[in-house]
Each structure stands twice: as structure tokens, then as C-alpha cells.
Amino acid sequence: SYEVTQSPSVSVSPGQMARITCSGDELPRRFSYWYQQKSGQAPVLVIYEDKKRPSWIPERFSGSISGTVATLTISGAQMDDEADYYCYSTDSDDNVVFGGGTKLTVL
Amino acid sequence: EGRLQQSGGGFVEPGGSLRLSCAASGFNFTNAWMNWVRQAPGKGLEWVARFKSKADGGAIDYAAPVKGRFTISRDDSRSTLYLQLSSLQTEDTAVYFCTTLSVFWGQGALVIVSS
């Protein structure tokens, strides 16, 4: 079955750039989406269709795609950005596939 | 402003059944593709099921681990999504979210399967 893969953790200092990646063979052909999830809360959409940002999400969040790797970039990470981040895409049957999640630590 | 309000959940023994509900308001539920996503304790997000809008064919799809045991349904007249969970196993213990997979997520409902 199709899988998308994320690194388990990323750690940055406040103000630094954080990059979280998601890899999958179908990503050149299918959109990627990114969620932020803080402890005990429902996920919040931060990037959709590879690089579009909802209007309520700060401009420091951006998305990109290069080949089979989608990247969520946080320019100037803040303590409030500390959370789990999940990517998802779809397989050839249009079923949803989540990555395993990346824990972002800002310290 | 749109929202999804969930009800249901609770404690059930292995082999038992439970129904989750998700009432939508503030957005066009009839045209929305609705999903259930779950999260086991300390684990990541796992997609469970999807019900496409009737306008887009109304197809239903399930993740392999729940196929044949869970049933997703919707009542567009009530703007409500359901998930019937049957033949529950301990591995089904999780918080279950209803969601459009875009902006709208329910608050989650905890299902604990244990003897």
C-alpha cells in the first residue's frame, strides 16, 4: 500500500528556519497537505495543495514540492509553533494517506 | 462560522458496537466530502473512511483495517455524519474525528475498547 514518510523529529532555535519533509512516490502527481496539531487539540490546516496557505495562517508558513518530496517551511520559528506536523496525500484510488508525523521542538 | 459537533464515544468491550455522530453547521454540508480520522493514544493520524457528496457520486471508501466492520453514513437533511463501529477490537481504541479534511474538524470522540 502507498505510504508517505516523514522524519520523526525536527529541532530548531527560536527565529531559525524549520524544514519538515514528506516523501512519497505519488507526490509529483498528487497534492500534499499539512496540518499542525498541538497536544489535546484537533489538527489545523496550515498548507493545502502543496503550497497554498489559508488566510488565517501566518506568512512564516510555506509549502513547496520538488519531485517526490514535499516540504513545510517555517521561516523564523516561534515557541508557539512547537507542535506535531502531519502531511497527507492520496493514493491511486484517491484514498487518504497520512505521514507518521513530525514533532517540531523550538528551544 | 462553520463547525462540526461530535457526540458518541465511550467505553466498550471487544466485539461490541458503538455509533458516533457529527452534526455540521455554518457551511454547505450537502456538497462536502466527509471523513472520519482517528488517532490512537500517543500515535499519529489515521484516515478511517470517507463519504463523497451525492453531487460527486456519493462513493464510500474505507481504510483496510476497518473495512467490513465500520459503516459511514450521512443524512444531508440533518447535516449529520455517522460512523457505526462494530466488531470492535482493542486496536480500535482512539480519538475519532469527523472532518472535511480542510478547515473543519470536530472536537474528537474517545472510544476505548477494553475488557
Map grid coordinates 514540492 to a residue.
A65
Provide residues of A within 8 Å CB-CB of chain B: 1, 33, 35, 37, 42-45, 48, 54, 84, 86, 88, 93-101
**Whether pLDDT at B80 is above 90:** yes
pLDDT of residue A19: 97
The distance of A30 to chain B (nearest Cα, Å) reads 15
- The reply to whether residue A95 touches residue B107, judged by beta carbons under 8 angstroms, is no
Q: What is the mean pLDDT of residues B78-99?
A: 98
Return the residue matching grid coordinates 472536537: B107
The percent of residues above 70 in pLDDT, for chain B, comes to 100
List the single best residue of A4, A7, A45, A86 to mutate versus B (max B Cβ within 10 A).
A45
Residue B61 confidence (pLDDT)? 96
Does the pLDDT of residue A93 top 90, yes or no? no
Q: What's the whole-number mean pLDDT along residues A18-44? A: 96
Tell me the C-alpha distance between B98 and A60, whole Å.
28
pLDDT digits (tens, 9 = 90+) for B3-38: 999 999 999 999 999 999 999 999 999 999 999 999
Closest CA to A21 of A85, A78, A80, A105: A85
- B103 compared with B35, residue with greater pLDDT: B35
Question: Does A1 have pLDDT greater than 90?
Answer: no
- How far, in Å, CA of A73 to CA of A78, rounded? 13
pLDDT above 90 for B1:
no
Residues 6+ apart with CB under 8 A from B28: none
pLDDT tens-digit profile of A44-83?
999 999 999 999 999 999 999 999 999 999 999 999 999 9
Nearest to A96 among B44, B50, B64 (CB): B50
Residue A25 near residue A5, CB atoms below 8 Å: no
Mean pLDDT for chain B overall:
97
Provide the chain B residues 50-109 that lie in CB contact (below 8 A) with chain A.
50, 61, 63-64, 97, 99, 101-103, 105-108
